[in-house]
Structure formats: structure tokens, C-alpha cells
Amino acid sequence: MSSLDLGPVRDRRPLAVQVYDRLYEALVIPGRMGPEVPTEVELAERLGVSRTTVRQALALLEEDGILARGAGRRRIVAPRHGPELNNPPLEDMLTGGGAPVVEAVARRVQLPTRWGSSLLRVSQRTEVVCWESVLRMDGAVVASALEFTTAEWASTLEDRPRVTMLAALGGGFRGRARQSLCRLSLHPTSAGTRGPFDAEPRADRPDIVLTQVLETQGAPAYLAKHVVRLGAVTLTLAGPQGDEV
């Protein structure tokens, strides 16, 4: 485990949450499945936090099914980590024309609309972070992403123009989050109005809206409204059956 790339935590979120994310990224994202986790003392020294903070983060990782107990009660990375599979970013759900290219349209802090404040369960006077992006395949726009997160998670974001917000929030966030809303509906472009796409709407290839809310610790932390041009791409909703639309 000495090869794990861990550095001191730095942002303003609760320390246990930061340690959770750092461990998740180091242990799970690279795909090193099954190694023993360093001791609490070793982790505390590497991360520059107390053993109590490390213990809290490890307990959360076990609770979320990311860590398990091996021989001698040593912690290991669980063979499967389902939560991450259920919360992929939009660029990982689109197939059909090569790898999607994400282009940033806007990155801003704003007051939420009533729709946004209702789904995020925040006041309309509470600022949220908003990212707008379009996704292209072979030069054509095949999807758009309108994403929001709350102030608690804003400090984890970097202005990365080539990924969606959910990708930028990191695997630690996605692994911990639980989906509380996943709704599909037809976009108004299907009725003949223009949307985010280059081409005119077609009745036989409707634009689909995917609305998602992810929660952490029982509170909404991420809201997205994705518009996808079906026929140009396939939208795979990751889950137990890997349903495709």
C-alpha cells in the first residue's frame, strides 16, 4: 500500500469527507482491487489529520460498501463497488459515435430557480454553482448538460472545460452519492421548437430529457438536466440491468 498517492487534504469541507474522497480516488479509481488498506496511524500521517478523522472516513467507506473486512479484520477494497457504477457522468452514458467531447458553455455561481431550489432543497436566496456544457460526437452536438451543486461541494470543483460537473466532482462523490431522482421525459424540441442541437428536431428521433438528483447524507447535493438527441447516440442508464434508451 506504500504506492498509494496520498497528500494532505486542503479544502474547506469537513475533514472526514475530504479523507473519504482522497481514499476513494486512490484505492478504487485506479482499479487496484483488493489491497489491504494502510493502518489508521499511517493514513493519519500521510493525510495530516487525526486518527479520529481517518476512522470516521473509513467507517463511511465501509458503510457505502467500498471497503470490506478481510482476514484478521484488516480493511480491504471490496471486490465490487456498486455505488460508483450507478452514478456515471453523462459522457460515460453516451455511445454510438466515438468518445463524446465535452465543451464548456458557462461556469457560474447563481441563485437557483424555483425548480432548482425545490429539487436541491435550498432557498432561492442561496447561491449554487451552475455548469452548462454541450457534448459532441464527430463534430455534431448530441447532448447538453445543465448541472448544479451546492456550496458544500463547490470547493471540490476545478474549472475543467472538457468534463461535465459530475465527472469533475470526482469518484469519491459519485461513490458516496445516492440517486434520489432519475426521470426521463420528452424535450419541447420534439414538438417543433429549437433546442441545443445543430439540426432541426425530427419526430422520429425525439430529444430526451434526463433529470437527476444525487444526495449525500440524505441531502441533495447535485442536480442535472441533460438533453440527449436519440438516434444520434444511445443513452445507457447504468444500474443493475444496464438499461438502454
Start-end of CATH 1.10.10.10 domains in the chain: 15-80
DSSP letters for 81-150: -HHHHT---GGGTEESSSS-EEEEEEEEEE---HHHHHHHT--TTS-EEEEEEEEEETTEEEEEEEEEE-
Start-end of CATH 3.40.1410.10 domains in the chain: 85-244
* CATH of the domain spanning 85-244: 3.40.1410.10
Q: What is the pLDDT of residues 70-98, one digit of tens each?
A: 777 788 777 643 333 458 899 988 988 77
Q: What is the pLDDT of residues 106-136, one digit of tens each?
A: 999 999 988 888 899 999 899 999 999 999 9
Q: What dihedral angle (degrees, nearest 10) is formed by the CA atoms of 90, 96, 98, 101?
A: -30
What's the whole-number average pLDDT of the chain?
Answer: 78
180-206: average pLDDT: 57
Q: For 210-240, give one letter per residue: b (16+ CB within 10 A) or e.
A: bbbbbbbeeebbbbbbbbbbbebbebebeee
Q: In sequence order, what are the beta bridge partners of 130?
A: 108, 148
158-164: average pLDDT: 82
**What CATH architecture does domain 15-80 belong to?**
Orthogonal Bundle (1.10)
